[in-house]
Amino acid sequence: MRAWGTTETGGVLETTETDFEELVGEALDGVPPELARLMDNVVVLVEDEPPAEEPDLLGLYDGIPLTERDTSYTFAQPDRILVFRGPLTRMCETPEELVEEVRITVVHEIAHHFGIDDDALHELGYA
């Protein structure tokens, strides 16, 4: 990954789009292969900012969880996992913290793809 750090003004952690995408890629690489193989018809995308009505949202799963798919699930658009760079970089104070928060966000949204709800994720520590 390229060098990056905090800005001189405001202490906001800065990272380029490319560097942030690499962080997301590294988080995806950390998903156990046996789980990654089970992911079906899903794409992971990086967006700068979440929807205006949810400015602190770190990630979003948009799709039909694997547990809810049936035989009528054919020719469907891919599910989307969105990871929002802005809120993540604003909440983190160090590069190490950003790496960890990106990892947690990616795991959280992948869990939604597998049909795991927020209550279960809270219990597992991925809230």
In the chain, count H helices and then E strands: 5, 3
Distance of CA 104 to the CA centre of its chain: 7
Q: Where are the domains of the chain?
A: 17-63+77-124
- pLDDT average, residue stretch 42-50: 97
Q: Pairing mode, if any, of strands 59-62 and 42-47?
A: unpaired
Handedness of CA 21, 22, 24, 29 (dihedral sign): positive
Whether 103 and 30 have beta carbons less than 8 Å apart is answered as yes
pLDDT above 90 (res 121): no
- Entry pTM: 0.86
Per-residue pLDDT tens digits for 83-97 = 999 999 999 989 999
Q: Which CATH class is domain 17-63+77-124?
A: alpha beta
Residue owning tokens 């979440």: 50
